[in-house]
């Protein structure tokens, strides 16, 4: 019988969740396919308990879903919350595109650096 995630709890900020390189690596692994907790932990040198803490944070941020089936817990990608990150980055992409375009115009108008 599949049961809801045992990690459901307080909501965590998605930016906080993706700030850690281990959690970003977990996200990358789950983007390819779902993993059991044991299989996921095998990708890291840290302890299973440490990996489980990272998984809990990602789950609290709404980036992954954990399903329990008997004794096995399987992690699944749930990346809708990453849109919040993409939207935030997009505003700065527009900013930097405008700045780089202005620099390009300046350099075209002043080829000798004058």
The CATH number linked to 72 is 1.10.10.10
User: Is 107 a domain residue?
Assistant: no
Query: Would 9 be classed as within a structural domain?
Result: yes
How is residue 7 written in tokens?
């990690």
Number of domains within the chain: 1
The 10s digit of each residue's pLDDT in 58-109 is 999 999 999 998 999 999 999 898 999 999 899 899 889 999 999 999 999 9
The percent of residues above 90 in pLDDT, for the chain, comes to 70
Please report, in angstroms and rounded to a whole number, the separation of the first and last CA atoms in the chain: 73
Is 90 domain-assigned? Answer: no
75: in domain: yes
Buried b (16+ CB within 10 A) or exposed e, 3-39: eebebeeeebebeebbeeebbeebbebbeeebbebee
| Residue pair 62/13 in contact by the 8 Å Cβ criterion | no
> Is the model more confident about 51 or about 4?
51
41 within domain boundaries: yes
Domain span at 49: 2-81
Residue pair 92/27 in contact (Cβ under 8 Å)? The answer is no
Place of tokens 């459901």: 8
Confirm whether 91 is domain-assigned: no
**pLDDT score at 10:** 57
Q: What confidence tier does 12 reach under pLDDT thresholds 50, 70, 90? A: confident
Q: Is the pLDDT of residue 1 over 80?
A: no
**What is the model's pTM?**
0.74
8: in domain: yes
Structural contact between residues 2 and 68, judged by C-beta atoms closer than 8 angstroms: yes
């Amino acid at each position: 019988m599949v049961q809801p995630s045992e990690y459901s709890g307080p909501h965590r900020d998605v930016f906080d969740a993706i700030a850690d390189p281990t959690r970003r690596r977990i996200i990358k692994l789950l983007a390819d396919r779902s993993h059991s907790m044991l299989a996921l932990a095998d990708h890291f040198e840290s302890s299973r308990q440490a990996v489980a803490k990272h998984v809990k944070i990602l789950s609290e941020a709404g980036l992954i879903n954990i399903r329990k089936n008997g004794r096995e817990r399987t992690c699944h990608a749930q990346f809708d919350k990453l849109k919040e990150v993409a939207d935030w980055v997009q505003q700065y992409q527009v900013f930097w595109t405008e700045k780089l375009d202005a620099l390009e115009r300046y350099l075209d108008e002043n080829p000798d650096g004058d």
